Amino acid sequence: MYNILICDDEKDIVEALAIYLSSEGYGIYKAYNGEEALEVVARETIHLVLLDIMMPKMDGMTAIAKLRTMSNIPVIMLTAKSEDTDKILGLNVGADDYVTKPFNPVELIARVKAQLRRYMALGSGISSHSDDRIMIGGVLLDDKAKTVSVDGEEVNLTPTEYHILKLFMDNPGKVYAPKDIYRQVWEDAPMGSEGTVAVHIRHLREKIEIDPSEPRHLKVVWGQGYKME
Amino acid sequence: MNKLKKNAGLKCAAAIVFSVSAVAFIISGILGAYFLERGAYGPDGRKKLYNQCVEEITYNYECRAIDFFAQKAALEINNSGKGADELIDSYDDMLMDSDETNFYFDITPTEAADKKKYASISNHEGMNIDYQYSNTVKRDVNVGIDVAFQYSLPLSDIVDKCRVIDEDYDGYASYEDGYEAYYSSFYVDYESDSYGTYEYDEETESYDYTVTYADTNDIKNYVITDDHLSYSLADDKEFIKAWDEFLKNYPEFDGLNIYVTYNQSTGILNVDAGISYAIPVVINEYVASEFTAYDAYYYSPVLNNYKYIIWAMDAVLPILIISGILALITFIYLICSAGHRKGSDEITLNRFDKIPYDVMVLIMCLSFYCTAYTISLVINNRTYWMDSEMAVSIVGTLAALILFPAFVMTTATRIKAPSNIFSNLFVWKLIKFVWKTVKKICIKIFGTILVFCRNLNLYWKYIGILCIAAFIMLLACATGSFGVVLIIGFIEFVFFVFVLARAIINMNALKKGASELAAGNTDYEIDTDNMMWEFKQHGENLNRIKDGIQLAVDERMKSERMKTELITNVSHDIKTPLTSIISYVDLLEKENIDNQTAREYLEVLDRQSARLKKLIQDLIEASKASTGNLTVNLEETDVRVLLEQAMGEFTDKLDKRGLKTIINYNTEPLTVMADGQHLWRIFQNLINNITKYAQDNTRVYIDIDSVACDNTGNSDVVTRKGMLRVVFKNISKDSLNVTGDELMERFVRGDSSRNTEGSGLGLSIAGSLARLQGGNLEIIVDGDLFKVVLLLVRA
């Protein structure tokens, strides 16, 4: 059983999250500001922290920075600010993931699970990359078994989707234009039918992303193509 | 050392010592020079000095010789012989009063009530000394005698001559040497016992017997005359006649004057007598005996003085040396300590140092002049009387004594603090004041004229300039010289060309400024510094308009920004309770509620809270987009790729509604300068609208072509590469009762779609984002045809 610390100055939210997570079988600790959160982390065995950013006494950013000096447990930010700069700042100070308020409870639980899996089961990058197994940011592609798992949970892909994903994972960070993808995956000249690529990628995203409209793994570079990160 | 410099008491003492020793030094120096010059320090020096003293002092007292004549006369008058010493004293006092070497006195006999006769002697200043003379005078002569002396001889000679005359009874004595060039003479005719004076008239070349006298009485006067006397004696009868005539004409003739003149440069004494109008008196005898009293009287003070002179001669040298050393030491000390004051290490100026230096110098010069004058008086032995002139000179001397050390010190101080020396000059200040005043007046006069000209209407300026030009031309013509006319004409031509050029330059600058203003560039400021007249005014007005516009724009920007901030902040605050609502609605749904109605209600809650969430997110985005409060990273973006990606995202939704998308690419290349993320938002919103509001099972057209116009659709202004136009066309499922522009407004949707999901901000956001990227978005509603025209900047 994993212990999760929920920290938010809004008690109702903490309660709601506690209900959701305890129903999933996690042990729950509650804190209402950054200082309390740090105390709890120091005192108890905590496996994951859900941390609000705007809190009295000590805000989330400071709390994360201090937390990171004692532990490397996963931290998910809860933030009302949807600006990119806030997200980037949070990730930079050491958060592992973020959820913007108002959040979808299902999505939140999915993210909690994913972070815990990555932290507990996969650990610090065991066999992250070999000839047959490619691991990028929680997405594991086993070329031998032709299987793909995201945060330790296996997903079913069609052969086309698998090929597209493999193309991306072979060259992480590279931006592929739809026609390049078509040429490499379909092994055919793209005669105006590269439009289908976008549809396939859309489906692929739906399978490997928790929130397909805001992808973490397979990102859309609008007007240029797609890339894996 | 510093302590010494700052001791005020010491300074004061030093100043006094300096003053005194300097004076002592100067005086002893002068005396020393005086003695040296007279060889007093050489062999037989003292004897020489003595002789010189006697000589000089004798000359200085020359007046007293005359005193003796008068005295002698008085003594003779006063036959009783009494009061000789008194007389000497009184004469002494009287004569001392006049420092002129030219004086005269009257001897006037008066008759008292007791029938005794008195002689009154007076000088010009009205001092009277009366003395008695007895009735025992042998002869009472009632006729005035004119006696004239004319000497051109040293004093001692007079004495000698008098004696000679005394002995030489025949009365004829002539003096040729030193004889003055006027022929006033005195004669005595012993045979007729008459004597008188005559004068030679150069015009008539004749002798003018102005005075004649004859008396048969035995007058035993011994007089001095010249060689002309013998000549005139021949006509003495005439002379007597003339004298009688004279007396007839001047019955009031009544006295005797004795004039004495001493010529200092030649050392010659002149004595002469004249007629005055007083009661006649008889002088029995003139100089008839030796001047014994003379020696006794005159040489004693000389000898007295000599005592002091000898003392001074011995004292001069040590005084000179001691006072010199003292003066030098105190002088150096004063110079060194000048400007130092207790409690300060800086050179400090006192009140004295603030007096203009030239005024100081002037005062010093004056006081030195007084000193010099006083010294000269002392040397000339003028210590015996005080008059106003001398008083001034003594006050000046005292001032010099006091001021000189102060002057030395202030000079030293000023040199130590040199900034003070020239600036603090009265002359300098005066010049400065005069210059300032003159400048002020000039500025006032010319300033008034300038202001007058400036405020003239442009027409009047124009007329004025033309008139002046014409007037100058007229003047040039008046000279009648063609050359002058030509030159003046040329100068005027150059002037007008210059003015015209300036006007054109100014006009151009104004035009540019106005164009910039019209284009909305509120940062452009017209440089009015070098403009002239009304152009400047106009430029300044334009600048003011610009400032006003800028202010208005800034104000608007500020208020927009504040609005955005408000919306963002409020939205953030709404988000937190909304999170709770969504969470608890979800939790409620998970509860096993059997009541069907309750479940329906929960569904409504779920739907509406989701809508609220979307609404808030869109609201933030719309406010940011409309105020430009977003970062835009423009880069080359392929519209075809973007469109494919977008279609990929929406394929499922479109298919569900049976919408068929037809994309027509009518141009190449399809790259635009845009921010991919923002462009996607535009496409997303537009296609999302299509999936929501298009008639099911219809075709959706997306046409892409390029147009030559700017982002406002104005084809007059063409951007370099033109714009890329993306037109979305679809058939609306409901009839649209609003215009395209109204749809672009925030929170506006077609009425019939009010109750559907969506915030109504989609088109507004898309429009704002398009404009942020230099493009534009326009909505055209044509019946059921809903058309969106998106313009993008081509790369």
pLDDT digits (tens, 9 = 90+) for B296-355: 233 444 455 666 777 777 788 888 899 999 989 888 888 888 777 777 777 777 777 778
pLDDT at B436: 93
Q: Which of A10, A101, A160 to mutate to test the interface with B (most CBs of B within 10 A)?
A: A101
| Closest approach of B672 to chain A, Cα-based (Å) | 9
Residue B678: both structure tokens together: 């923002």
Taking an 8 Å Cβ-Cβ cutoff, which residues of chain A contact chain B? Answer: 10, 12-13, 16-17, 19-20, 80-82, 101-106, 177-178, 194-195, 197-202, 220-226
**Cα Rg, chain B, nearest whole Å:** 65
Task: Report the residue of A221, A222, A226, A227 to disrupt the B interface, i.e. the one with the largest count of B CBs within 10 Å.
Answer: A222
Tell me if B641 and A178 make a contact (CB, 8 A cut-off). Answer: yes
DSSP B627-675: HT-S----EEEEHHHHHHHHHHHHHHHHHHHT-EEEEEE-SS--EEEE-
Nearest CB neighbour to A82, from listed B617, B645, B652: B617
**pLDDT digits 0-9 by tens, A127-180:** 445 667 788 877 888 888 888 888 777 888 888 888 888 888 888 888 888 888
Say if the Cβ atoms of B576 and A80 lie within 8 Å.
Answer: yes
Confidence grade of residue B437 (pLDDT, cut at 50, 70, 90): very high
The mean pLDDT value of chain B amounts to 67
Mutation for A interface: B579, B607, B630, B687, most A CBs within 10 A: B579
Distance CA B503, CA B509 (A): 10
Evaluate if residue B364 carries a pLDDT over 80.
yes
Evaluate whether A3-122 and A133-228 have a shared fold. no
- Residue listed under structure tokens 């919408």: B659
> CATH assignment of A3-122?
3.40.50.2300
**pLDDT for B268:** 40
The answer to which of B150-164, B292-306, B392-406 has the lowest mean pLDDT is B150-164
The pLDDT, as a whole number, for residue B204 is 59
- A223 CB neighbours in chain B (<8 A) are 637-639, 641-642, 645, 674, 676, 679-680
Chain B: give the shortest CA distance to residue A124, in Å: 33
Q: Which three-class secondary structure string do you get for B598-623? A: HHHHHHHHHHHHHHHHHHHHHHHHHH
How would residue A211 be classed by pLDDT, with cut points 50, 70 and 90?
Answer: confident
- Over residues A49-77, the mean pLDDT reads 86
At B118 the pLDDT is 40
Q: What per-residue confidence (pLDDT) applies to B441?
A: 92
B652 contact residues in A (CB cutoff 8 A): 202
Q: What are phi and psi of B372, to 5 degrees?
A: -60, -40
How many contacts, defined by CB atoms under 8 Å, are there between A and B?
97
What pLDDT digit, counting tens, does each position of B242-280 carry? 445 555 655 544 333 333 334 444 434 343 434 333 223
Least-confidence region, from B253-267, B718-732, B734-748 = B253-267
Angle between helix B533-590 and A11-23 (nearest 10):
40
Judge whether residue B699 has pLDDT over 50: yes
CB contact under 8 A, B649 and A223: no
Q: Chain A residue closest to B673 (CA)?
A: A223
pLDDT class of B759 with cuts at 50, 70, 90: low
Q: State the number of CA atoms in the 13 A half-sphere of B310 facing the CB.
A: 13
CB B164 within 8 A of CB B222: no
Report the candidate in A198, A151, A161 with the shortest Cα–Cα distance to residue A177.
A198
Residues B441, A139: Cα–Cα separation, whole Å: 93
Amino acid at B251: P
pLDDT (average), residues B112-130: 39
pLDDT at B442 over 50: yes
More confident residue, B52 or B360: B360
* Tokens (6 digits) for B681: 């938002």
Hey, is A5 helix, strand or coil? strand
Contact assessment for residue A68 and residue A38, using Cβ atoms and an 8 Å cutoff: no
Q: What is the C-alpha to C-alpha distance for residues B218 and B5, in angstroms, rounded to an integer?
A: 89
Q: Is the pTM of this model over 0.95?
A: no
Tokens 């100068």 found at? B491
Least confident window among A215-219, B144-148, B580-584 = B144-148
Q: Kind of pairing, strands B660-665 and B699-707? A: parallel
Pairwise CA distance, residues A118 & B183, whole Å = 157
Residue B165 has pLDDT above 70, yes or no: no
- pLDDT of amino acid B516: 81
Contact flag B579-A103 (C-beta cutoff 8 Å)? yes
Q: Confidence class of residue B435 from pLDDT cuts 50, 70 and 90?
A: very high
Taking the domains of chain A in order of start, what are their residue ranges? 3-122, 133-228
Instruction: Write the secondary structure of B130-143 as one string of H (helix), E (strand) and C (coil).
Output: EEEECCCCCCCCCC
Q: Tell whether the model's pLDDT for residue A1 goes beyond 70.
A: yes
CATH 1.10.357.10 corresponds to the domain A133-228: no
pLDDT of residue B236 exceeding 70: no
Q: What is the mean pLDDT of residues B484-506?
A: 86
Question: Does residue B582 belong to the interface with chain A, where contact is any CB pair within 8 Å?
Answer: yes
Nearest to B677 among A197, A201, A222 (CB): A222
Strand-pair category, A225-228 with B102-111: unpaired
Min distance B660 CA to chain A CA atoms (Å): 14
